[in-house]
Structure 1
């Protein structure tokens, strides 16, 4: 075995304590092992605050040998860290032959290098508590027009009436629920002007279904008045779109869902409006809009140029970009009678913020303050596609997790890791993603992560797992005609069961995109936005999701429990969820979850083999497979395609027999 010159693992408590993100004021302890062959004369750590240009320098003290054979010298130091935000650190070793810099090798190990890659340290101080009601729950993401409708064709068609304009032609309603969405461009543009009639009363009529599925939080795609079927082109933030219903319908949904133990959160689209809106009014529908009136009260909400053009969101002229620095716009969204508070008062329990990285930090702080002041346990969750802890956008470090901005984010990195493992059998990306987020995110953030397998912006998960990978030049016609064969669908259902089990048991809160639990297929927009198949659901898959939700609901470790990788080899991935020290302290003090319920406090191991050969899972003690009832102990063979959810045998879980 190759001898390592330096040993340090930022995710191991023997080398760094506390591991992971730390609270402001915590004392950080660092320990590194240096092989005696390097003949070290001294070791120091360079610790750079993200908002400074010069690092702090801490000398490390020798503290004896770091290995049984005496081949390593142990160096350590400790110091308090106060300012919230990000820090970066690496080590420097002085030897008789010169200076050696030691940085991160991209994983958990070290690399001796001239220009070291630093380890990241997140520091936070919670100003607002994350919503406990979300922890351990299940989110259900509804694209409202395609979920369930309550009215007849004639009534629905009447709701859609809107005088057409040159840029906003007449909208139309599909006669048949479940027809393929329109996808062909008109005059070179995708209009998104076809509808199926899903509405708020339709959702209310399906609350029993959602309750049986284990849903605790309903996340609605935008519901405010807008021209399109997707509603991201807001026409009026203060009005429910007539095609969806009324404000009274929304209040009724929140009230009835709340009576069944489910909250409702809304999609906040605050980076742009529609061009066909009260505020911009390019179509001259309302009067007084910014586009045609330089004296409009909305004029400073947007970015106009001398030639009459305006800034748009990603070049889409129907989505004029908003000036989030404008005081008038900020008051409109964050003020006492602003958008954020109005809909919380109407019954919403929080906001998912569309393209959160396009919202300036101070705007986000003001918005969060308004939300938490109105409803302290409301959720503020951002759409971020990368590791959000170190996100930089538009030249600004976002520092989402300092404690005064986002409660949490959508977990897009996890989605790709799950697909990579389940479809290909390679656990490396998934394990690396989970462990990286565990290291970089505060635990409160992790417990509220929105763990997704599909959204309105991605392929349907069963298609991603078992469908053909679209060629680079795949046309809309190709995607419209592509469907899983009988063999692919059978394989896709099997793989979806594994993927959903990982989604349900990894740290965070699983979010089911409507219809994924029935195996809905589809490539990207609009094919991933089909109608829920109420007349032909896949009952076996729905039953599987219900079973997973019951396992999740009955085990306390899925609320805020810890995580550790048990095994990760080609084909096999196994991880354990367990009570943390904080969990134990709360439970021993009698601080039970506010929603009550009877929980198992046992540790749980999820193990999945997505490879082509049997692999040995190494277990200590006795474990019961919650899927089969088998009791396992010692080395256990996990067959190709096999999934296990193992609960530890009863014992000294909380210090009591």
Structure 2
């Protein structure tokens, strides 16, 4: 233990560590310098509605430090913040948090406070998925079965140049229609299940598959129908059944914040025979939307008139999505194993609770993931502190903070900053949420990881520039090496790694739509795929990865050493993130390396952009 005023990462100061369940008593100990003798110390604990001031009691004096202690039992779920106030006569100090979790004395009271996340006792997340591997597929661009396409709407452009540049220029009216399709489909995914299994994939996350009139399909037209270019309901059910034989679950993208204006519910474009909300105030869907001046002015997602917002408080809409015969249960009964909620910040807490109830009613092991870009434990969205992790809403989220930390580290190699960014999430997230978090380094909404790592920044540059810029040969070679480092961290940190289709094949690309290119079948980077298969095998065999705690161990420059301690054992990863051999002396007695027991300290040579692994 390193002496300091306070350290939320160290159980000698705060015990237990991290998020806690209701009914848990947390001990707080601070070490005050001896020159503040006769001071009084107070724990100031608050949330968005209350503040408590709890006196600390003198415990002992040791090594020129005065130890003060108190404890508090958390009876209600919530997000709580705290700091310590020290007073001696006219002198006032506040113990605030630095980036590492250590406390420092502030004479102004300014600085960051500490956080404790409290979740409902008994809150559980699916155990079967932990220790697994997600694989995210943008359905139009993964693989085409080549079967004849029937009932395709006439306004779609069906492309035959697999791997071509996605259309990105606006039309004569200045609209970007996203109406070019490469015709990837559900049967195509089914045909690649052997490949996915070879990567170690245990969960497929599919971007939207319901009928919609754009290639991204986030403008849902019919929640109860598979898009005709992807296949049929029978194709989906068969895919789920076949995937199960390969040990793979499937979760779907639930886009419930908004729908398409070109849908059976709104029907602005009059494509459908239904009486949509735009067509008549007598429409059964009228109350699902927010009209400001009927029919032309209405609330839409981020001002896009093609994406009218849904009224998530309307009882009929809630029943349609969450009811016993609603959308969620329909697809779960056909074989889905959960949902990822698009733009979760724009779904009310009450709506997410209803979603959870429906998802779990069809099976407690069904997974519910939310799209949240920041620290989801303390997120404030539209002025409201969200309750994602308190026990009645999400199982977990897309872990964008880990993504940013990994890619930033691979680019700038600031090891301490990386530790800090990872540790704050580990501290704030309930462990059951942490171990089911979706750890991506690329997604359909972000640039490809290899492009971020090795390419020129596209900040301030438009689509025309992005369309013409690819990595040079030397950039690509450097990018592959650094991508291996990023992937290794992704696979060994707490949570479930998520491969974005094509990352393992070396696919590159800037922002949408260039990050949504076709999987390069026949032109894959075979060496990188082999590396990912090796990591995928370790996800299944390496102890400590399913639910293990995380510790960053002391390490020299050029190497990161992390330890995972779990219910099934322990592992220690030593990762060389440089372009030269690293020689290191280690003594992890009792661990195995290459099936041999470590008995004494010895030297190990770690090749560039590679790792060694100890297991116990």
Please say if 1:245 is aligned against 2:231.
Answer: yes
Q: 249-258 vs 38-47, which deviates more?
A: 38-47
Structure 1 residue 633: Cα displacement: 5.8
1:108 match: 101
- Aligned mates of 1:233, 1:401 — CA distance in 2: 28
2:449 match: 461
Q: 247-256 vs 297-306, which deviates more?
A: 297-306
Out of 510, 528, 531, the position equivalent to 1:541 is: 528
Contact kept in structure 2, 1:85 and 1:123, CA below 8 Å: yes
Please say if 1:404 is aligned against 2:371.
Answer: no
Q: Where in structure 2 are there 5+ consecutive unaligned residues?
A: none
Closer/same/farther in 2, CA of residues 606 and 357 from structure 1, 3 Å limit: farther
Q: Deviations over 1:290-345 (max 9, x none)?
A: 01211111111111012630111011111111111111111111111111111111
- Aligned mates of 1:44, 1:138 — CA distance in 2: 45
Out of 9, 12, 16, the position equivalent to 1:11 is: 9
Contact kept in structure 2, 1:456 and 1:525, CA below 8 Å: yes
Contact kept in structure 2, 1:414 and 1:430, CA below 8 Å: no
| 1:287-302 map, 5 Å | 287-302=274-289
Q: 615-624 vs 448-457, which deviates more?
A: 615-624
Please say if 1:644 is aligned against 2:611.
Answer: yes
Closer/same/farther in 2, CA of residues 606 and 319 from structure 1, 3 Å limit: farther
- Aligned mates of 1:376, 1:144 — CA distance in 2: 27
Q: Deviations over 1:594-652 (max 9, x none)?
A: xxxxxxx34222423348895856544365555x999796475776844323214x6xx
2:383 match: 395
- Aligned mates of 1:632, 1:275 — CA distance in 2: 67
1:208 match: 194
- 1:208 aligned counterpart, secondary structure: helix
- Aligned mates of 1:305, 1:298 — CA distance in 2: 16
Contact kept in structure 1, 2:582 and 2:608, CA below 8 Å: no
- Aligned mates of 2:243, 2:580 — CA distance in 1: 44
Closer/same/farther in 2, CA of residues 640 and 215 from structure 1, 3 Å limit: closer
| 1:43-82 map, 5 Å | 43-48=41-46, 50-53=47-50, 55-67=51-63, 71-82=64-75
- 2:30 aligned counterpart, secondary structure: strand
Structure 1 residue 428: Cα displacement: 3.1
- 2:554 aligned counterpart, secondary structure: strand
| 1:312-391 map, 5 Å | 312-391=300-379
Please say if 1:182 is aligned against 2:167.
Answer: yes
Q: 249-258 vs 477-486, which deviates more?
A: 477-486
Structure 1 residue 430: Cα displacement: 2.1
Q: Where in structure 1 are there 5+ consecutive unaligned residues?
A: 163-169, 588-600, 651-657
- 1:603 aligned counterpart, secondary structure: strand
- 1:132 aligned counterpart, secondary structure: coil
Q: Deviations over 1:79-122 (max 9, x none)?
A: 21110011111111121443322222343122323334321011
Out of 133, 136, 153, the position equivalent to 1:161 is: 153
| 1:372-521 map, 5 Å | 372-470=360-458, 472-521=459-508
Closer/same/farther in 2, CA of residues 321 and 374 from structure 1, 3 Å limit: same
Q: Deviations over 1:4-51 (max 9, x none)?
A: 9x6100110000000100110011100000011122332111111x24
Contact kept in structure 2, 1:199 and 1:243, CA below 8 Å: yes
Closer/same/farther in 2, CA of residues 419 and 615 from structure 1, 3 Å limit: farther
1:280 match: 266
- Aligned mates of 1:207, 1:321 — CA distance in 2: 36
2:40 match: 42
Q: Deviations over 1:111-155 (max 9, x none)?
A: 323334321011112555211111000000000011111124xx2
- Aligned mates of 2:88, 2:400 — CA distance in 1: 44
- Aligned mates of 1:110, 1:611 — CA distance in 2: 36
- Aligned mates of 1:275, 1:556 — CA distance in 2: 49
Contact kept in structure 1, 2:588 and 2:598, CA below 8 Å: no
TM-score by length of 1: 0.89
Structure 1 residue 196: Cα displacement: 0.6
Contact kept in structure 2, 1:92 and 1:101, CA below 8 Å: yes
Q: Deviations over 1:509-543 (max 9, x none)?
A: 00000010000011111111111111222111111
Q: 561-570 vs 433-442, which deviates more?
A: 561-570
- 1:390 aligned counterpart, secondary structure: coil
Contact kept in structure 1, 2:606 and 2:612, CA below 8 Å: no
Contact kept in structure 2, 1:425 and 1:572, CA below 8 Å: no
Q: 190-199 vs 291-300, which deviates more?
A: 291-300
Structure 1 residue 231: Cα displacement: 0.5
- Aligned mates of 2:260, 2:599 — CA distance in 1: 58
- The count of corresponding residues between Structure 1 and Structure 2 is 610
Structure 1 residue 262: Cα displacement: 0.6
Closer/same/farther in 2, CA of residues 32 and 183 from structure 1, 3 Å limit: same
Please say if 1:235 is aligned against 2:221.
Answer: yes
- Aligned mates of 2:152, 2:540 — CA distance in 1: 40
Contact kept in structure 1, 2:548 and 2:570, CA below 8 Å: no
- Aligned mates of 2:60, 2:442 — CA distance in 1: 52
Contact kept in structure 1, 2:256 and 2:342, CA below 8 Å: yes
Q: CA RMSD in A?
A: 2.2
Contact kept in structure 1, 2:576 and 2:582, CA below 8 Å: no
